[in-house]
Structure 1
Amino acid sequence: MTPIARLTRRSLLLAATLLLAACATGPRVTSDVDPSANFAQYRTFAFYTPLAIESQGYATLTSGRTKDAARAQMEARGYVYDEKSPDLWVNLNAYMQEKTDVVNTPEVDYDYYYSYRSRRYFAVPYWRDRTDVYKYTEGTLNVDLVDAKQNRLVWTGVAVGRVGRTKPEERGTKIDAAVAEIFLRYPYRAGSGATAVAP
């Protein structure tokens, strides 16, 4: 392979690697709000029962850490935890699914032939596509805020991202970070309908 072909191949591989690295930097976070909801009336919260993240009927270490992270975010915004008469129910859900990415990368290669007239070899470039298949696990974390009196969803935040291997001691920090990313999209403080900068 000629130096030009090697340089072109390396450039294409580097571009593909940077593209994949950019996608893996953090979760994609979206949110949605009920425009008719009066957020000025919400001051207290509790967790919805049964919590979607505890679909098996019992709490896990992950669900407990996620609840702690959501409670910390709500309390940082001035909401008071009240199991008896909450204004908002907080519901949490998380799930994972296997995904596949198929990446087609153009490559250049060369065929060589000998010209008897010129008495030398010539390089003829040709293009082809290389197909790479990447399997990965995608995780989704939902935070729903439900008006307790009307039993109606008023705000939802969703984080979607690739799930990598995590050491047990790092898992809690990653859960905290994902929940904090979601709550960055929640602009309200307790008892205020005006949007505010998240803490």
Structure 2
Amino acid sequence: MSLSARLPLLFTAAAFLSACSTVSVTTDYDHATVFTNYKSYDLATAPDQLPLSPTSESALDDTLRGAMAQRGIREVTSGADLNVVSHAFTKDKINVYPAAGWGYGVPYRYGRYGMWMGAPMGYTDVTQYTQGTLILDFVDAKTKKLVFRGVATDTVGTPEQNAENIQEAVRKIMHDFPLPAPGQQ
């Protein structure tokens, strides 16, 4: 198969895979900040933070370290230019989907004109789930000013799924970081 014949297939596969992503990310930053001045960072967890699972913590730290290294920002234990503070929390959620069907051939209904078949039937679908939120705050170490924030949300799953979602969230957040990685647009 020639490249020109495979190209539409590759685009379709890429579109399908990107559509499967469920991690929702928003970012914001201080447009007056000169991000090229940041050469070092340290990782911190919010003081009131509940700990992540070991798998999730490793996924967060490793993905963030890789993304920062791509941008030429090195991790240090003291004297950092940026403090990267992670916050993670969960919230129980409920989705309620009201729906109606006509129920052809299903139970008879009694109405003003007597009993008849196929009357509208209403039903409600209720789904409970746990939503996880990851916030990454990038704080200027000297001024203590928040210069970049990324927020990611997704449904909590198994530890392996959560680790994959955290990696995807960090990649998406860092894609919007004002200092792009080489080759990133």
Instruction: Quote the residue 2:184 is aligned against.
Output: 197
Instruction: Quote the residue 2:27 is aligned against.
Output: 31
Once residues 133 and 59 of structure 1 are traced to their aligned partners in structure 2, the CA distance between those partners, rounded to angstroms, is 28
Once residues 72 and 36 of structure 1 are traced to their aligned partners in structure 2, the CA distance between those partners, rounded to angstroms, is 26
Once residues 139 and 172 of structure 1 are traced to their aligned partners in structure 2, the CA distance between those partners, rounded to angstroms, is 12
Instruction: Quote the residue 2:41 is aligned against.
Output: 45
Q: What 5-or-longer segments of structure 2 have no aligned partner? A: 1-18
Quickly say closer, same or farther: Cα 1:94–1:109, change in 2 above 3 A. Answer: same
**Equivalent AA in structure 1 for residue 142 of structure 2:** K
Q: CA shift at 1:181, angstroms?
A: 2.1
Once residues 20 and 131 of structure 2 are traced to their aligned partners in structure 1, the CA distance between those partners, rounded to angstroms, is 11
Aligned-pair Cα RMSD in Å: 3.1
Query: Secondary structure, in 3 states, of the residue corresponding to 1:126?
Result: coil
Once residues 196 and 37 of structure 1 are traced to their aligned partners in structure 2, the CA distance between those partners, rounded to angstroms, is 22
After superposition, the C-alpha distances for 1:30-89 in whole angstroms (9 at most, x for unaligned) are: 0011122221211211123xx128736x78613343222211111111111222221111
Quickly say closer, same or farther: Cα 1:97–1:38, change in 2 above 3 A. Answer: same
Q: Match for 1:179 among 170, 179, 185?
A: 170
Quickly say closer, same or farther: Cα 1:196–1:38, change in 2 above 3 A. Answer: farther
Once residues 163 and 43 of structure 2 are traced to their aligned partners in structure 1, the CA distance between those partners, rounded to angstroms, is 19
Question: Larger C-alpha radius of gyration, 1 or 2?
Answer: 1
Q: Match for 2:133 among 140, 146, 150?
A: 140
Query: Secondary structure, in 3 states, of the residue corresponding to 1:36?
Result: coil
Query: Secondary structure, in 3 states, of the residue corresponding to 2:66?
Result: helix
Quickly say closer, same or farther: Cα 1:165–1:140, change in 2 above 3 A. Answer: same
Per the normalisation by structure 1, the TM-score is: 0.67
Instruction: Quote the residue 1:118 is aligned against.
Output: none
Using the TM superposition, name which of 64-73 and 153-162 deviates more.
64-73
Identity over aligned pairs, percent: 29
Instruction: Quote the residue 2:142 is aligned against.
Output: 149
Once residues 117 and 123 of structure 2 are traced to their aligned partners in structure 1, the CA distance between those partners, rounded to angstroms, is 19
**Equivalent AA in structure 2 for residue 36 of structure 1:** A
Per the normalisation by structure 2, the TM-score is: 0.72
